[in-house]
Amino acid sequence: MFDKVKFSLLTAMNIVFKIVTKKKGISTLELSREFELRQKTCWSFKWKIQQAMQSSKQNPLSGEVHVDEFYIGQPEEQKRGSSKGEKRLVVVALEKVADGVGRSYAQVIENAAAEDFKPFFNSYIQTEAIVITDERRGYLPLKKEYRHLKQVPSNEGKNFPDMHIHIMNLKGWLRGIHHHCSKEHLQGYLDEYHYRYNRRNAMNTMFDLLVKKMAENKPIRLITKRDN
Protein backbone atom coordinates (compact mmCIF):
# COMPACT_ATOMS: atom_id res chain seq x y z
CA MET A 1 0.00 0.00 0.00
CA PHE A 2 3.06 2.26 0.08
CA ASP A 3 3.53 1.57 -3.64
CA LYS A 4 3.98 4.73 -5.75
CA VAL A 5 3.17 7.21 -2.96
CA LYS A 6 3.66 10.82 -4.08
CA PHE A 7 5.81 11.78 -1.08
CA SER A 8 8.63 10.33 0.99
CA LEU A 9 8.24 7.09 2.93
CA LEU A 10 9.06 9.05 6.10
CA THR A 11 6.12 11.36 5.43
CA ALA A 12 3.91 8.35 4.72
CA MET A 13 4.85 6.81 8.07
CA ASN A 14 4.14 10.09 9.82
CA ILE A 15 0.68 10.30 8.24
CA VAL A 16 -0.15 6.72 9.26
CA PHE A 17 1.03 7.47 12.81
CA LYS A 18 -1.12 10.62 13.04
CA ILE A 19 -4.23 8.88 11.78
CA VAL A 20 -3.95 5.81 13.95
CA THR A 21 -2.73 7.25 17.26
CA LYS A 22 -4.72 10.46 17.61
CA LYS A 23 -7.82 9.65 19.66
CA LYS A 24 -10.15 11.37 17.19
CA GLY A 25 -8.08 10.83 14.09
CA ILE A 26 -7.14 13.68 11.80
CA SER A 27 -8.83 15.18 8.76
CA THR A 28 -7.26 15.42 5.33
CA LEU A 29 -7.40 19.21 5.63
CA GLU A 30 -5.20 19.04 8.72
CA LEU A 31 -2.85 16.59 7.04
CA SER A 32 -2.64 18.84 4.00
CA ARG A 33 -1.64 21.85 6.11
CA GLU A 34 0.80 19.98 8.34
CA PHE A 35 2.67 18.14 5.58
CA GLU A 36 2.23 20.79 2.85
CA LEU A 37 0.55 18.37 0.46
CA ARG A 38 -2.56 18.68 -1.69
CA GLN A 39 -5.69 17.66 0.17
CA LYS A 40 -6.62 15.26 -2.64
CA THR A 41 -3.24 13.55 -2.25
CA CYS A 42 -3.78 13.20 1.51
CA TRP A 43 -7.32 11.92 0.99
CA SER A 44 -6.18 9.26 -1.51
CA PHE A 45 -3.48 7.98 0.83
CA LYS A 46 -5.84 8.04 3.79
CA TRP A 47 -8.29 5.92 1.78
CA LYS A 48 -5.52 3.32 1.38
CA ILE A 49 -4.93 3.38 5.12
CA GLN A 50 -8.64 2.85 5.76
CA GLN A 51 -8.56 -0.29 3.58
CA ALA A 52 -5.91 -1.75 5.88
CA MET A 53 -8.08 -0.86 8.88
CA GLN A 54 -10.76 -3.35 7.83
CA SER A 55 -11.44 -6.15 10.25
CA SER A 56 -9.88 -9.54 9.52
CA LYS A 57 -13.23 -11.09 10.56
CA GLN A 58 -11.27 -13.77 12.40
CA ASN A 59 -12.53 -12.87 15.87
CA PRO A 60 -16.33 -12.47 15.84
CA LEU A 61 -18.10 -10.92 18.80
CA SER A 62 -19.18 -13.31 21.55
CA GLY A 63 -21.09 -13.32 24.83
CA GLU A 64 -23.78 -10.63 24.95
CA VAL A 65 -23.93 -8.56 21.77
CA HIS A 66 -26.25 -5.61 21.15
CA VAL A 67 -27.20 -4.79 17.56
CA ASP A 68 -28.90 -1.68 16.21
CA GLU A 69 -29.13 0.32 13.01
CA PHE A 70 -29.05 4.05 12.37
CA TYR A 71 -28.91 6.58 9.57
CA ILE A 72 -25.99 8.82 8.69
CA GLY A 73 -26.63 11.85 6.55
CA GLN A 74 -24.16 14.68 6.94
CA PRO A 75 -22.66 17.36 4.67
CA GLU A 76 -20.25 15.94 2.12
CA GLU A 77 -16.56 16.33 2.95
CA GLN A 78 -14.78 18.87 0.74
CA LYS A 79 -18.19 20.31 -0.18
CA ARG A 80 -19.42 23.62 1.16
CA GLY A 81 -22.91 24.91 1.72
CA SER A 82 -25.99 23.42 3.33
CA SER A 83 -26.20 20.22 1.29
CA LYS A 84 -26.87 17.23 3.54
CA GLY A 85 -26.47 14.51 0.94
CA GLU A 86 -28.39 11.23 1.00
CA LYS A 87 -28.87 9.32 4.23
CA ARG A 88 -27.07 6.00 4.52
CA LEU A 89 -28.19 3.10 6.69
CA VAL A 90 -25.61 1.51 9.00
CA VAL A 91 -25.90 -1.57 11.23
CA VAL A 92 -23.65 -1.75 14.29
CA ALA A 93 -22.87 -4.50 16.81
CA LEU A 94 -21.49 -3.78 20.29
CA GLU A 95 -20.03 -6.42 22.58
CA LYS A 96 -20.91 -6.23 26.29
CA VAL A 97 -18.25 -7.30 28.80
CA ALA A 98 -18.07 -7.47 32.59
CA ASP A 99 -16.67 -3.96 33.03
CA GLY A 100 -18.63 -2.20 30.28
CA VAL A 101 -18.26 -2.59 26.53
CA GLY A 102 -15.78 -4.50 24.41
CA ARG A 103 -15.35 -4.47 20.65
CA SER A 104 -17.67 -3.11 17.98
CA TYR A 105 -18.15 -3.33 14.22
CA ALA A 106 -20.34 -1.44 11.76
CA GLN A 107 -21.32 -1.90 8.15
CA VAL A 108 -23.21 0.10 5.54
CA ILE A 109 -26.35 -1.73 4.34
CA GLU A 110 -29.04 -0.97 1.80
CA ASN A 111 -32.14 -1.92 3.77
CA ALA A 112 -33.13 -2.96 7.30
CA ALA A 113 -34.06 -6.46 6.12
CA ALA A 114 -32.87 -9.96 6.97
CA GLU A 115 -30.97 -10.37 3.70
CA ASP A 116 -28.94 -7.25 4.56
CA PHE A 117 -28.46 -8.09 8.24
CA LYS A 118 -27.39 -11.71 7.68
CA PRO A 119 -23.99 -11.07 5.99
CA PHE A 120 -23.10 -8.65 8.79
CA PHE A 121 -24.10 -11.13 11.49
CA ASN A 122 -22.19 -13.97 9.79
CA SER A 123 -19.04 -11.84 9.50
CA TYR A 124 -18.93 -10.30 12.95
CA ILE A 125 -21.05 -12.26 15.46
CA GLN A 126 -20.69 -15.82 16.77
CA THR A 127 -23.81 -17.92 16.25
CA GLU A 128 -23.84 -18.87 19.96
CA ALA A 129 -23.75 -15.23 21.11
CA ILE A 130 -26.66 -13.76 23.06
CA VAL A 131 -27.75 -11.18 20.51
CA ILE A 132 -30.13 -8.45 21.66
CA THR A 133 -31.87 -6.22 19.12
CA ASP A 134 -34.88 -3.94 19.00
CA GLU A 135 -38.23 -5.19 17.66
CA ARG A 136 -37.57 -4.55 13.99
CA ARG A 137 -39.06 -7.39 11.94
CA GLY A 138 -35.94 -7.72 9.79
CA TYR A 139 -34.16 -9.51 12.64
CA LEU A 140 -36.80 -12.23 13.06
CA PRO A 141 -35.54 -14.65 10.34
CA LEU A 142 -32.07 -14.59 11.92
CA LYS A 143 -33.38 -16.47 14.97
CA LYS A 144 -33.10 -19.71 12.95
CA GLU A 145 -29.31 -19.39 12.94
CA TYR A 146 -28.80 -17.23 16.03
CA ARG A 147 -30.95 -19.15 18.47
CA HIS A 148 -30.13 -16.90 21.43
CA LEU A 149 -31.33 -13.77 19.64
CA LYS A 150 -33.71 -11.72 21.77
CA GLN A 151 -35.80 -8.71 20.78
CA VAL A 152 -36.76 -5.99 23.24
CA PRO A 153 -38.41 -2.59 22.81
CA SER A 154 -35.93 0.15 22.06
CA ASN A 155 -37.80 2.78 24.06
CA GLU A 156 -36.10 5.48 21.99
CA GLY A 157 -32.69 4.04 22.81
CA LYS A 158 -33.20 4.01 26.60
CA ASN A 159 -33.03 0.21 26.73
CA PHE A 160 -29.69 0.29 24.88
CA PRO A 161 -27.76 3.07 26.65
CA ASP A 162 -24.27 1.88 25.70
CA MET A 163 -25.29 1.46 22.08
CA HIS A 164 -26.90 4.90 22.07
CA ILE A 165 -23.69 6.47 23.39
CA HIS A 166 -21.59 4.56 20.84
CA ILE A 167 -23.72 5.74 17.93
CA MET A 168 -23.74 9.35 19.16
CA ASN A 169 -19.95 9.30 19.55
CA LEU A 170 -19.54 7.89 16.05
CA LYS A 171 -21.82 10.51 14.53
CA GLY A 172 -20.09 13.25 16.49
CA TRP A 173 -16.70 12.08 15.21
CA LEU A 174 -17.88 12.14 11.61
CA ARG A 175 -19.33 15.63 11.99
CA GLY A 176 -16.43 17.08 13.94
CA ILE A 177 -13.46 15.63 12.06
CA HIS A 178 -14.50 14.78 8.52
CA HIS A 179 -17.80 16.50 7.63
CA HIS A 180 -18.11 13.96 4.83
CA CYS A 181 -19.59 10.52 4.47
CA SER A 182 -20.28 9.86 0.82
CA LYS A 183 -22.03 6.56 0.23
CA GLU A 184 -19.09 5.17 -1.74
CA HIS A 185 -16.53 5.76 1.01
CA LEU A 186 -18.53 5.71 4.26
CA GLN A 187 -17.45 2.14 5.02
CA GLY A 188 -13.84 3.30 5.11
CA TYR A 189 -14.63 5.84 7.80
CA LEU A 190 -16.51 3.22 9.83
CA ASP A 191 -13.51 0.87 9.56
CA GLU A 192 -11.13 3.64 10.63
CA TYR A 193 -13.24 4.52 13.67
CA HIS A 194 -13.60 0.95 14.84
CA TYR A 195 -9.96 0.04 14.21
CA ARG A 196 -8.98 2.63 16.84
CA TYR A 197 -11.98 1.87 19.06
CA ASN A 198 -11.28 -1.85 19.24
CA ARG A 199 -7.63 -1.19 20.13
CA ARG A 200 -8.17 1.65 22.59
CA ASN A 201 -6.50 -0.42 25.29
CA ALA A 202 -3.55 -1.38 23.08
CA MET A 203 -2.27 1.99 21.91
CA ASN A 204 1.34 0.77 21.95
CA THR A 205 0.74 -1.84 19.23
CA MET A 206 -1.89 -0.38 16.87
CA PHE A 207 0.62 1.59 14.75
CA ASP A 208 2.96 -1.38 14.32
CA LEU A 209 0.05 -3.65 13.38
CA LEU A 210 -1.30 -1.22 10.81
CA VAL A 211 2.07 -0.66 9.12
CA LYS A 212 2.53 -4.44 8.96
CA LYS A 213 -0.88 -4.87 7.32
CA MET A 214 -0.17 -2.09 4.82
CA ALA A 215 3.26 -3.51 3.92
CA GLU A 216 1.87 -7.02 3.42
CA ASN A 217 -1.12 -5.97 1.29
CA LYS A 218 -0.92 -5.92 -2.47
CA PRO A 219 -0.74 -2.49 -4.14
CA ILE A 220 -4.18 -0.92 -4.61
CA ARG A 221 -5.41 2.19 -6.32
CA LEU A 222 -8.36 4.40 -5.56
CA ILE A 223 -11.46 3.50 -7.56
CA THR A 224 -13.52 6.53 -8.51
CA LYS A 225 -16.62 7.06 -10.59
CA ARG A 226 -14.35 7.82 -13.54
CA ASP A 227 -13.23 4.18 -13.52
CA ASN A 228 -16.78 2.94 -14.20
Percent helix / strand / coil, the chain, rounded to 5: 45, 15, 40
Model pLDDT for residues 94-143, shown as the tens digit of each residue? 999 998 999 999 999 999 999 999 999 999 999 999 999 999 999 999 99
pTM of the complete model: 0.87
| CATH 3.30.420 is right for the domain spanning 64-171 | yes
pLDDT at residue number 181: 65
Nearest CA-CA partner of 137 in 165, 157, 167, 116 = 116
Residue 183 has pLDDT above 90, yes or no: no
Asked which of 140-154, 156-170, 176-190 is least confident by mean pLDDT, the reply is: 176-190
Residue 159 has pLDDT above 80, yes or no: yes
Which residues of the chain are in CATH 3.30.420 domains? 64-171
What's the rounded mean pLDDT across residues 34-58? 93
pLDDT band at 81 (very low <50, low <70, confident <90, very high): very low
CA distance linking residue 161 with residue 119, whole number of Å: 25
Residue 4 has pLDDT above 90, yes or no: no
SS3 call for 204: helix
- Buried b vs exposed e over 174-203: b needs ≥16 C-beta within 10 Å? beebbbbbbeebbbbbbbbbbbbbbbeeee
